[in-house]
């Protein structure tokens, strides 16, 4: 399959959110990537359930929800109710990851696991077949507009090898610092989904930028 593009709504103009959602609907983008931050797991607060529920009224593409929060288990049912199609939790925030993944799937959502830059791939060996998507953080989570961490390429290759060895069908998603200059190298290393925030929303023509990212 061709790689997927998931614009990160964190970089959108919050005062014109419906306009930016409609732009993504009309573009070549595949998913909406939505970062939920609690100010505890990461040093930033983004937006919560009411905003996401309002967004759902306008989105025409799957909602890829990335929980950068502590205790994600207590909100699994809530995020299903307000429209999440894919729910990603952080490995570092889950004491009982296997249980959390099963709880997400029980609600009918795809289950994702995010890894911070310092977290090694091999920690997913025993659960990779239970994971629909692994989100490799290519910046330190919490803020948009950060520089891409070069070691990400190594982690993508390691993850691709693990998925192949275990016979899993897990997708590899890259989140942070993605642009037209590294997108091709990421997909060649094995990435299936590219999350792009500032690079899309700060572009002169975001629709064209999304098309270019899709075409690499």
Q: Give residue-wise pLDDT tens across range 68-92.
A: 999 999 999 999 999 999 999 999 9
Domain boundaries, the chain: 4-215
- For the cut 90, the answer to whether the pLDDT of residue 130 exceeds it is yes
pTM for the structure as a whole:
0.97
How far is residue 113's CA from residue 10's CA, in Å, rounded to a whole number? 19
Looking at the chain, the number of H-run helices and the number of E-run strands are: 8, 8
Please pick, among 38, 132, 175, 192, the residue that the annotation labels catalytic.
175
Q: Give residue-wise pLDDT tens across range 8-64.
A: 999 999 999 999 999 999 999 999 999 999 999 999 999 999 999 999 999 999 999
Dig out the tokens for 38 from the structure.
């609690």
Please pick, among 30, 35, 64, 132, the residue that the annotation labels catalytic.
35
Q: What is the mean pLDDT of residues 185-191?
A: 98
Q: Give residue-wise pLDDT tens across range 57-72.
A: 999 999 999 999 999 9
- What superfamily in CATH does domain 4-215 come from? Aldolase class I (3.20.20.70)
pLDDT of residue 1: 66
131 within 8 A of 62, measured Cβ to Cβ: no
Average pLDDT, the chain: 97
Annotated active-site residue 175? The verdict is yes
- For the cut 70, the answer to whether the pLDDT of residue 144 exceeds it is yes
* Main-chain dihedrals φ then ψ at residue 195, nearest 5 degrees: -90, 130
Interhelix angle for 206-215 vs 17-26, to 10°?
40
């Amino acid at each position: 399959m061709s790689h997927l593009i998931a614009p990160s709504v964190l970089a959108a103009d919050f005062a014109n959110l419906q306009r930016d959602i409609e732009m993504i609907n009309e573009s070549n983008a595949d998913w909406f990537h939505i970062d939920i931050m609690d100010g505890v797991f990461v040093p930033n607060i983004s937006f919560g359930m009411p905003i996401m529920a309002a967004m759902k009224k306008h989105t025409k593409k799957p909602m890829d929800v990335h929980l950068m929060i502590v205790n994600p288990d207590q909100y699994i049912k809530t995020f299903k109710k307000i429209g999440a199609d894919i729910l990603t939790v952080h490995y570092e925030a889950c004491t009982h990851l296997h249980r959390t993944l099963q709880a997400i799937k029980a609600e009918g959502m795809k289950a994702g696991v995010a890894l911070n830059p310092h977290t090694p791939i091999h920690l997913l060996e025993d659960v990779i077949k239970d994971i629909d998507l692994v989100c490799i953080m290519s910046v330190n989570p919490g803020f948009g507009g950060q520089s891409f961490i070069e070691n990400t390429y190594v982690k993508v290759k390691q993850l691709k090898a693990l998925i192949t060895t275990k016979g899993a069908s897990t997708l590899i998603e890259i989140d942070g610092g993605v642009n037209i200059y590294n997108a091709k190298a990421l997909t060649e290393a094995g990435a299936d989904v590219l999350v792009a925030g500032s690079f899309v929303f700060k572009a002169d023509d975001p629709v064209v930028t999304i098309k270019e990212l899709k075409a690499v």
